[in-house]
Structure 1
Amino acid sequence: MNSAHTIKFLKFPFQFEVEKLQAEVTGILQKSWIPHFNQDGYSGEWKSLALYSADGKEENIIALNEPNLIPTGLLKNGSYLGEVIHHFECPITSARLLRLGQQACIKPHKDYNLGYENGTFRIHVPIFTNPYVRFVLDGTVLEMQEGQCWYTNVNYLHSVSNEGMSDRIHLVIDYQRNDWSDRLFFSLAPRERLFPNEGNQYSAETVARIIDELKLIDSEGARTAILELENSLARL
């Protein structure tokens, strides 16, 4: 499919309670937020706190995109942030608060394997923002408002700038795709428009034949290719 016709973002038809989100995050603003590790990728202040991590520590902000994460101490019983995270009935592979300071910017970049076609997807819930925040995804400016919920395919080039006089804080969650998310996504957009390369994919029968041929080759490369093809076959 022509990438110009591919859906690269979605605004979901539900709204979270801004006052609850802001009250909860205001209570942790004084914590020691961790500067983002890719310091060449931004200017100004870009900091984070983990809500889920491999070891349950809020300072562990690296998104490994692996399931079986542990909630950190920021998610107490009755946490509204936790309620928002679990609105999506999917395995969580990362959940963080991302804070972009005043006059800061995240330089144009692409993330890896974080589009719906990869079996994973990223969600943004703005908690604090201002009219001078500019989020650009593949040339399109996304006007994300507080309490809204957005899918962004960050395999595409994207950048963020905050020219305002207040910090911009988003809840950013990565999930694994499953049947629940398929029902949601495909109710909002045709499947073929969410998958930029699907028009060029082999049929399931052809993929199965390729796998059979590769099984005759005893090499690490063949075994890796088989695993990738089996994963793609499961999504056909």
Structure 2
Amino acid sequence: MSVAAVANDRVRLPFTFDVEKMKAEVKTLGMNEFIYYNVIPLRAPAHQVDPSLPLPPPADDYADGTWTEWLNIPAMASTPYLTSIIDKFQEHTRVTLVRVLRLAAGNEVKEHTDPTLGLEVERSVVRLTIPILVGDEVDFFLNGTPVPMQPGECWYLRLTDPHKVVNGSTTDRINLTIDMAPNDWLRNLIQKAATND
């Protein structure tokens, strides 16, 4: 990948995670009944995790996640490896929303943009993507070109740009996504990875 690709839109970060451990723990989270797209939150706004907590006050801007505290869901207690991945980033910046996303075989996510998911946006969060299960015919298109993400890799994608997912395989596609506040550590990590590609 050229340095132009960050200005570009995609950067593979220098982390590799254990795919078999992630697959085993995802199975414990109960991804059973679903139609074509399944979302399991692993970290969510505090009041959604613990209903006894008060609702956060209204905010003018929800984009960067500062409007509430964020907690791991109780089921994370049974997924120590996934928890360790979240903790790895939490050591350096504020981690907000974390989810497991499953797209059924033969389905797609239509092209769209996420206006607050990019380094270049003021008051945003950055979403990192870690593929867990990817069939041969799964394509994640960003700005019209596929991103060659493989299981266990960790990617920054500029999701303020148009993107879509096409699962032409006979197996589900499963990703772990981690949203976090951009700071100097994260910006430097992404820039260094981009210049090394």
TM-score normalised by the chain length of structure 1: 0.67
In the TM superposition, 1:46-61 aligns within 5 A as 46-54=37-45, 55-56=48-49
> Given the superposition, is the C-alpha separation of residues 64 and 47 from structure 1 closer, same or farther in structure 2, using an over 3 Å criterion?
farther
- How many matched pairs? 173
Hey, what's the Cα distance between the residues in 2 that align with 1:28 and 1:142?
Answer: 27
Aligned partner of 2:95 in structure 1 is 92
Hey, what's the Cα distance between the residues in 2 that align with 1:14 and 1:4?
Answer: 19
Unmatched runs of 5 consecutive residues or more in structure 2 = 51-61
Aligned partner of 1:17 in structure 2 is 18
- Structure richer in strand, relative to its length: 2
Q: How far does residue 112 in structure 1 lie from its aligned partner after superposition?
A: 1.1
Aligned partner of 1:171 in structure 2 is 176
RMSD: 2.3
1:16-73 CA deviation, whole Å, 9 max, x = no partner? 011111110122244556xxxxxxxxxx60110100111217xxxxx96514211102
> Given the superposition, is the C-alpha separation of residues 100 and 20 from structure 1 closer, same or farther in structure 2, using an over 3 Å criterion?
same
**Contact 2:65/2:125, CA 8 A, preserved across alignment:** no
In the TM superposition, 1:163-202 aligns within 5 A as 163-189=168-194
Identical columns (%): 31
Aligned partner of 1:133 in structure 2 is 138
Structure 1 or 2, whichever has the larger Rg, is 1
- Structure richer in helix, relative to its length: 1
Aligned partner of 2:53 in structure 1 is none
Hey, what's the Cα distance between the residues in 1 that align with 2:14 and 2:183?
Answer: 19
Q: How far does residue 179 in structure 1 lie from its aligned partner after superposition?
A: 2.3
Aligned partner of 1:40 in structure 2 is none
Hey, what's the Cα distance between the residues in 2 that align with 1:174 and 1:100?
Answer: 19
> Given the superposition, is the C-alpha separation of residues 184 and 30 from structure 1 closer, same or farther in structure 2, using an over 3 Å criterion?
closer
Hey, what's the Cα distance between the residues in 1 that align with 2:153 and 2:6?
Answer: 24
Hey, what's the Cα distance between the residues in 2 that align with 1:82 and 1:168?
Answer: 21
Q: How far does residue 86 in structure 1 lie from its aligned partner after superposition?
A: 2.3
Which amino acid is the alignment partner of residue 79 of structure 1? Answer: P
Which amino acid is the alignment partner of residue 83 of structure 2? Answer: G
Hey, what's the Cα distance between the residues in 2 that align with 1:182 and 1:22?
Answer: 29
Hey, what's the Cα distance between the residues in 2 that align with 1:167 and 1:27?
Answer: 16
**Contact 1:115/1:155, CA 8 A, preserved across alignment:** yes
**Contact 1:64/1:93, CA 8 A, preserved across alignment:** no
> Given the superposition, is the C-alpha separation of residues 49 and 125 from structure 1 closer, same or farther in structure 2, using an over 3 Å criterion?
same
1:141-180 CA deviation, whole Å, 9 max, x = no partner? 0121110100111100000011111111100111111122
* Secondary structure at 1:116 match in 2: coil
In the TM superposition, 1:38-187 aligns within 5 A as 45-54=36-45, 55-56=48-49, 65-67=64-66, 68-76=69-77, 79-88=80-89, 89-118=92-121, 119-187=124-192
**Contact 1:65/1:174, CA 8 A, preserved across alignment:** no
